[in-house]
Amino acid sequence: MRSQRDLENELRQLRSQLKRLTSEVERNTRILRVSQERELTLLNAEDIASLLHVLLDGLRDSYRLDAVSVVLADPDHNVRHLLLASGHEPEEFPGLTFVDSLGGMAPQFVALTRPWLGRYMKADHALILPPDLGLSSVALLPLMHKGRLLGSLNFGSKDDDRFTALHATDFFSHLGVIASFSLENVLNRARLLRSGHTDFLTGWHNRRYLQLRLKEELARASREQTTLVCLMLDIDHFKRINDSYGHAAGDEVLREVAQRIESQVRVSDVAARFGGEEFVVLLPATDFAAARALAERIRASISASPVSVNAEQSEIITTSIGIATCAAPPQGADLKSLGESLLARADVALYRAKSEGRDRVAVE
């Protein structure tokens, strides 16, 4: 028969165990609540920028991580264009990396279909998480869509035991699915929004989109004290193409010219079909000499080789280009009026290029 002392010792042990279990339950409840709240925030993100802030900043703060990064494969720059179209630069999001291919980013990407947890190895992981933070363990969560790897959400910790191969990965798998779904959701929203700003024939942005971006780029020029340059382009003798070969041939010329212009502009530039045979390219943070050189490259690229107008015939197409520049607007300036003035001055320069013989660049 156990003594009273034995019973008291056992009772103390049970109370201690109960206290420990209660504390663990409370901790797990807090983690679950934080996880559920964060997942709802991910799912409710309205746009790409909001989602990136939640992924990079929200998850780092919620889970007390030393580093969080997102790597996205974007070979055609589609996601980057959508982000830029929303008025945000990739550089605004420390920890975000766009790559043309995931190959070579980390060995785990070769077969990353489930979360990978383990030691941080500089040779393996320096491209996805900063090598100068003293990280000891990492978790790589695949971002998937229809069985295809889009990229990864990456956690880093200075604690050796925070992420190990011995940890269960159910939580990370679930979070990766939520993040993947949220990413595809905001990208689809952005694509839908962009469809209302897209010219059906060329696939370029349309005039409506240009008006929105023009105001945004002027606001940025004001903040950063930089220059905004506008190129206005017009296809020479376009009416003759339509009259001689028909409107189908004219459409093909428009598409080909748009492609040749696009081959010369930068990702950060804003290109739009202004209407008819006119195109506009906005060049943020660009000086006059660089803008003039780009305009000449575009003009030369368009006339470099004939454009097929039907199965048997082709035509050399030339363009006239007008350039206008806007210095950094002062704070509080009327950006709408400034934008209209910039377009009007570029149009005046374009008219001068045409009146002086076409197939040339003129400056307002």
- The model's pLDDT over 158-175, given as tens digits with 9 standing for 90+, comes to 999 999 988 878 888 989
DSSP 8-state assignment for residue 329: P
* The predicted structure's pLDDT at residue 357: 95
Q: Which CATH class is domain 45-195?
A: alpha beta
Contact between 303 and 328 (Cβ < 8 Å): no
pLDDT surpassing 60 at residue 1: no
What is the domain partition of the chain in residue ranges?
A: 45-195, 207-363
pLDDT of residue 281: 96
Q: Say how many C-beta atoms besides its own lie within 10 A of residue 202's C-beta.
A: 21
Distance CA 214, CA 130 (A): 36
- We find that the CATH architecture of domain 207-363 is 2-Layer Sandwich (3.30)
Check if 315 is active-site.
no
Residue 128 confidence (pLDDT) above 70: yes
pLDDT tens, 272-323?
A: 999 899 999 999 999 999 999 999 999 999 999 999 988 889 999 999 999 9
Q: Cβ distance 235 to 258 under 8 Å?
A: no
Query: How big is the CA angle at 279 (ends 275 and 280), to the nearest 5 degrees?
Result: 115
Among 122, 171, 163, 112, smallest CA distance to 139 is for 163
pLDDT digits (tens, 9 = 90+) for 222-277: 999 999 999 999 999 999 999 999 988 999 999 999 999 999 998 889 999 998 99
Residues 37-41 have a mean pLDDT of 82
Average of per-residue pLDDT values in the chain? 89
Query: Taking Cα atoms as reference points, which of 126, 135, 120, 91 lies closest to residue 105?
Result: 126
Q: Which amino acid is at 110?
A: V
- Is the model more confident about 233 or about 188? 233
Catalytic residue among 277, 315, 356, 364: 277
